[in-house]
Every structure is written in structure tokens, then in C-alpha cells.
């Protein structure tokens, strides 16, 4: 069994590469930081290469980049409206980071940064804080009106307002837990089923092997779907702050 990883959680360990300590804080450059840097470089390379020979009839990479751009631009137009164009760079960066983190994480041996709740929660709380600030800047104290449901009878308000406030405040948690749980579950499943192939051996091992092949395909779908969900929820939260509608 030597050399075969049978612990499905081992793939999530964070190892410092360059230890850095600032006061009491451990700010080491870890394998997670390394893969984040790789993700950012990969995104930059794809977009720069795709746009370097911009032509009217686009090549493969250029159409891929244009497709991604259109996808987010349409998402903002549909969910936020014309006011949303200002926030395109924000949503596009978020979407590309999550998409590339999920997809690069599927490369064998790679580290999945979105499988750590610290990373996904940092992204989600950033979205939450920015959306809340936008709401207060645009509407001032009228933003509190968002928590008062329209058309509810007066005697229900003492019950409805706390519920609305809680449902607003759990957004960063549900946003981050969704992405992190999907990534962890998928990667744990892949390793567990992969260990079956090894443990069962040549006689029946091809069965889990077929299963793991199909699951890898499913994981690609989930990687893209979760990036999409993260981006569209960002749009929906921005829309709530900009247009004050549920």
C-alpha cells in the first residue's frame, strides 16, 4: 500500500512552502497560496492570449474568452439591469477565479483552493459587504425598508422583520458553504472510489474505474455549475441592493 493515498482528506492539507510569521500571525506562503497564484496567472494568460490577435472572425481561444465575457455581461443585464454594467469587472473576476479554481483543482495532483471554507467565506463575505455598502450608499436609510416585506399585515411585522434580517445575514454563509461543500464532497468521493480500484484489484476493479470516469465528468459539470451559481447569486445580491427588490 506504500505510496498510495488512501486517506481521502489528506488532499486538503495545507503545507507551508515559505514560512512567514508576522507577530502572532502565520502568514506563510502555502500550497494554497501557490495554487491561487497559478489560477490568477492562468486566467491572465488565457485572456491575454485570447485577445492578443483580436480578429473579426475569432479563433478558438478568442471565442472562448468572448463567450465568457458575453455570459457574465448577459447575466448582469438580466439580473441587475443597465445599472449593473458598472459592476461587470467585479462579477467577472469572481466568476473567473471560482471557475478556474474549481477546474484547476480537478487536475490530478493539484490543490483545490475552493475546498477550504476560509477561501470561499472570504469571497462570500466580500460580496456581502460590498452589496450592503452599495445598498446604503445608493439608498441611505431607505435601505432598511428592504427588510420590511411588502403587503404583509401590520401585526405580522414584528415576526417578519427578524426573519428577513436573518435571511439576509445568512447569505454569506450559504454562499460559501455551498461552494466549499460541493468541492469537498466531490474530491473525497473521487479519492474513495479511486481507492476501491486499487483495493479490489484486477478482477472487479474496473467497475469502480468506470464509475470514477463517469464521476470525473460529473465533477466538471459541478465545477462549472458552482462557479455559475456563485456569479448569479452575486448578481442577485447586487440587484437587491441596487433596486431594493426581492
Partner 1 sequence: MDPKDSDKFRRLDRELEELKNRTEHTAQPSRETNREAGVAGLVSRISIELVVGLLVGLGAGYYLDRWLGTKPLFLITLMILGLAAGILNIVRLSKDIERRLRKDE
Residue 218 binding partner 1, by CB under 8 A: no
Could you give the string, one character per residue 147-186, with x where binding to partner 1 holds by CB under 8 A and - elsewhere?
---------------xxx-xx-xx--xx--xx--xx----
Of 11 and 239, which CB lies nearer to partner 1 in the complex structure?
A: 239
Among 200, 228, 243, 244, binds partner 1 (CB under 8 A): 228
Of 93 and 167, which CB lies nearer to partner 1 in the complex structure?
A: 167
Q: What is the DSSP string of the chain?
A: -TT----TTGGG---EEE--EETTEE--EEHHHHHHHHHHHHHHHHHHHHHHT--SS--HHHHHHHHHHHHHHHHHHHHT-GGGGGGHHHHHHHHHHHHHHHHHHTSTT---GGGSHHHHHHHHHHHHHHHHHHHHHHHGGGGGGGGS-TT--GGGHHHHHHHHHHHHHTHHHHHHHHHHHHHHHHHHHHHHHHHHHHHH-TTTTHHHHHHHHHHHHHHHHHHHHHHHHHHHHHHHHHHHHHH---
Residues 43-102 contacting partner 1, CB under 8 A: 57
Could you give the string, one character per residue 15-54, with x where binding to partner 1 holds by CB under 8 A and - elsewhere?
----------------------------------------
Of 119 and 231, which CB lies nearer to partner 1 in the complex structure?
A: 231
Task: State the minimum distance, in angstroms, from the CB of residue 183 to partner 1.
Answer: 13
Nine-digit cell at 171? 447569505
Of 163 and 204, which CB lies nearer to partner 1 in the complex structure?
A: 163
Among 38, 106, 200, 229, binds partner 1 (CB under 8 A): 229
Of 133 and 225, which CB lies nearer to partner 1 in the complex structure?
A: 225
Enumerate binding residues for partner 1 (CB under 8 A).
Answer: 57, 162-164, 166-167, 169-170, 173-174, 177-178, 181-182, 225-226, 228-229, 232, 246
Amino acid at each position: 500500500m506504500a505510496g498510495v493515498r488512501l486517506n481521502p482528506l489528506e488532499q486538503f492539507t495545507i503545507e507551508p512552502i515559505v514560512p512567514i510569521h508576522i507577530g502572532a500571525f502565520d502568514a506563510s506562503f502555502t500550497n494554497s497560496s501557490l495554487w491561487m497564484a497559478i489560477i490568477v496567472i492562468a486566467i491572465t494568460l488565457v485572456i491575454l492570449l485570447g485577445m492578443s490577435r483580436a480578429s473579426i472572425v475569432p479563433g478558438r481561444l478568442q471565442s472562448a474568452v468572448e463567450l465568457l465575457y458575453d455570459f457574465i455581461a448577459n447575466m448582469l443585464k438580466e439580473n441587475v439591469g443597465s445599472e449593473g454594467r458598472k459592476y461587470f469587472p467585479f462579477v467577472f473576476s469572481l466568476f473567473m477565479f471560482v471557475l478556474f479554481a474549481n477546474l484547476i483543482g480537478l487536475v490530478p495532483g493539484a490543490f483545490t483552493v475552493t475546498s477550504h471554507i476560509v477561501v470561499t467565506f472570504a469571497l462570500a463575505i466580500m460580496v456581502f459587504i460590498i452589496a450592503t455598502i452599495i445598498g446604503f450608499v445608493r439608498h441611505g436609510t431607505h435601505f432598511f425598508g428592504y427588510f420590511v416585506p411588502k403587503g404583509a399585515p401590520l401585526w405580522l411585522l414584528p415576526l417578519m422583520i427578524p426573519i428577513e434580517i436573518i435571511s439576509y445575514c445568512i447569505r454569506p454563509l450559504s454562499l460559501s458553504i455551498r461552494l466549499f461543500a460541493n468541492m469537498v464532497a466531490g474530491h473525497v468521493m473521487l479519492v474513495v472510489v479511486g481507492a476501491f480500484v486499487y483495493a479490489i484489484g484486477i478482477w472487479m476493479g474496473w467497475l469502480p474505474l468506470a464509475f470514477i470516469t463517469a464521476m470525473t465528468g460529473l465533477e466538471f459539470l459541478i465545477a462549472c455549475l458552482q462557479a455559475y451559481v456563485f456569479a448569479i447569486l452575486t448578481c442577485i445580491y447586487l440587484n437587491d441592493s441596487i433596486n431594493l427588490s426581492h
